[in-house]
């Protein structure tokens, strides 16, 4: 590659960076909301979600009871 070709490529890269750099700066400066804040409350008053929670508690209790039975 000749010096002229390298200089042409460098000019092209510099021109592209002029366009890209402001986009990167804007993105970094914009605070992003954490994913858990985006979904918080989305299951409020949902009977299926409440039932899933109840079943999970029941499963954990039965697993704990089974474990305690084996220890005794």
pTM of the model: 0.42
Give the per-residue pLDDT at 8. 95
Angstrom distance (rounded) from CA 30 to CA 23? 11
Tokens found for residue 28: 């970094």
Give the per-residue pLDDT at 24. 79
- The tokens 């029941």 sit on which residue? 58
What is the chain's pLDDT, residue by residue, as a tens digit (72 residues)? 899 999 999 999 999 999 998 887 765 566 678 888 989 999 999 999 999 999 999 999 999 877 877 765
Euclidean distance between the first and final Cα of the chain, in Å? 80
Give the per-residue pLDDT at 64. 86
Give the per-residue pLDDT at 72. 59
Tokens found for residue 21: 């750099």
């Amino acid at each position: 590659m000749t010096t002229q070709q390298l200089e042409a490529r460098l000019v092209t890269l510099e021109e592209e960076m002029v366009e890209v750099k402001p986009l990167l700066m804007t993105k970094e400066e914009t605070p992003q909301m954490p994913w858990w804040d985006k979904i918080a409350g989305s299951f409020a008053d949902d009977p299926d979600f409440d039932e899933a929670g109840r079943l999970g508690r029941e499963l954990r209790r039965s697993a704990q009871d089974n474990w305690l039975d084996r220890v005794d």
